[in-house]
Chain A
Amino acid sequence: MGVELSTTRLEDAAKWAKQSLLEKGANWGRKFSLFTYPFVTACCGMEFMSVAAPKYDLARFGAEFPRFSPRQSDLLMVVGTITEKQGPAVKRVYDQMAEPKWVIAFGVCASTGGFYQNYHSMPGVDQVIPVDVYIPGCPPRPEQVLDALIVLQNRIAEGRGHSQLRHKREQVMAAAASEEG
């Protein structure tokens, strides 16, 4: 019995190590090949263009290629004020994106609503979709955006993005359900 048990444990350990290594490798690849979907609604867009343009050069971090279809992207950049009327559209874009996916709230309006405290503006896009990194500033300096991107890359490598954690939770739940069944 004891031998059998230790064999199982060894197999488990090997399986875990393999999975973990695979995941680490995949996350390493993901963090350097982010495909951005710029959801640009307001003046922060000018700063986004500046970051994407050669002077500050988002390409150095492997996130240079904006895709204008959410189905081909895995990083949603919410750039600018989100109104209540836009809420369903943002949610739909996020739902259509490929897993795993990440969200950056670019500027105070996307993060908290900024100076809009009224009937039409949403107090932060995290009312509708989960946000991984918030960038303060009105608008933020390009250096802040690059810093946020590095923070996000570290988070991706550690597997701590919202969608990654949700995926892990779902796997654990499914495993528990199959063991019970």
Chain B
Amino acid sequence: MSQQVLDALAAKHADSIEGTATLFGDEVVYVKREKLLALAKVLRDDPAFAFDAPVFVTCTDFLHWDHGAAPIGVALDRTADGDATYRYEVSYQLRSTTKRHRLRLKVRLTEADPKLPSLAPLWTGFDWQERETFDLYGITFEGHPDLRRIYLYDEFIGHPLRKDYPKEKRQPLVRRDDLPVVGVRKGELK
């Protein structure tokens, strides 16, 4: 559907991308982290691309993923850092209302350095979604105008949608003084 976009990117901006793929009918381009901002600017401003509508930002945590046997995605031999293993994959979905095509940008990040440039200055619609990704996955968006938690309270420690966050760990703000002990899970009260 948007194969011509992928072809144009591969032809003109080969130094900014690591690979392209078509997954389940969606065109995906794997972008080098340090080239993300420049490439996004081209995608927005070049009349041949004209991506004017931000759709979503999200992240995938590949903590327990067997990269060798990965059935989806492109097997890349390195990440933005030249590292063989990556943990996070941040996805930006873009859409063009005039050209009627769409594209997904993916940036792969290592566990040690979960940072990438923010696209909120280019598309305002990414502002709160990047905050959400920061809140739940702990991805730092550099250059974001107001990067702080959006759903959880400031007292919350950690990022709950990371795969290594304990599934049922709660961080209560307030509890009764006379709380009945029966039925309360061990270690839940502090």
Contact = CB atoms under 8 A, between A and B. Distances in A.
Interface of A: 84-85, 87-88, 91, 117-123, 126-130
Interface of B: 151-153, 160, 165, 167-176, 178-180
Contact of A88 (B151, B160, B168, B174): B174
Contacts of B170: 84, 119-123
30 contacts: A84-B153, A84-B170, A84-B171, A84-B172, A85-B151, A85-B152, A85-B173, A87-B172, A87-B173, A87-B174, A88-B173, A88-B174, A91-B174, A118-B160, A118-B168, A119-B165, A119-B168, A119-B170, A120-B151, A120-B152, A120-B160, A120-B170, A121-B170, A122-B172, A123-B170, A127-B172, A127-B179, A128-B174, A128-B175, A130-B178
A84 B160 CA distance: 13
B173 A127 contact: no
A138 B67 CA distance: 41
Taking chain B's interface residues, is the majority helix, strand, or loop, or is none over half, making it mixed? Answer: loop
B167 A130 contact: no
B106 to A, nearest CB: 26
Given A117-B168, A119-B168, A127 B176 contact: yes
A119 B188 CA distance: 11
A127 B174 CA distance: 8
Contacts of A87: 172-175
Nearest to B160: A119
Q: Of residues A84, A122, A128, A130, which shows the largest number of chain B Cβ atoms within 10 Å of its Cβ?
A: A84
A119 B175 contact: no
Contacts of A123: 170
Contacts of B171: 84, 119
Given A84-B172, A85-B152, A119-B168, 4 more contacts: A88-B173, A117-B167, A120-B160, A127-B179
Contact of B176 (A88, A121, A128): A128
A129 B179 CA distance: 9
B163 to A, nearest CB: 13
B173 A130 contact: no
Contacts of A118: 160, 167-168
Closest 6 CB pairs of A and B: A119-B160, A87-B174, A87-B173, A88-B174, A85-B153, A117-B168
Contacts of B168: 117-119
A128 B178 CA distance: 9
B88 to A, nearest CB: 19
Nearest to A127: B175
A130 B176 contact: yes
B161 to A, nearest CB: 9
Contacts of A120: 151-152, 160, 170
Contacts of A91: 174
A144 to B, nearest CB: 22
Contacts of B178: 130
Contacts of B180: 126
Q: Of residues A119, A120, A127, A128, which shows the largest number of chain B Cβ atoms within 10 Å of its Cβ?
A: A119
A87 B156 CA distance: 14
B167 to A, nearest CB: 7
Contacts of B167: 117-119
Contacts of B172: 84, 87, 122, 127
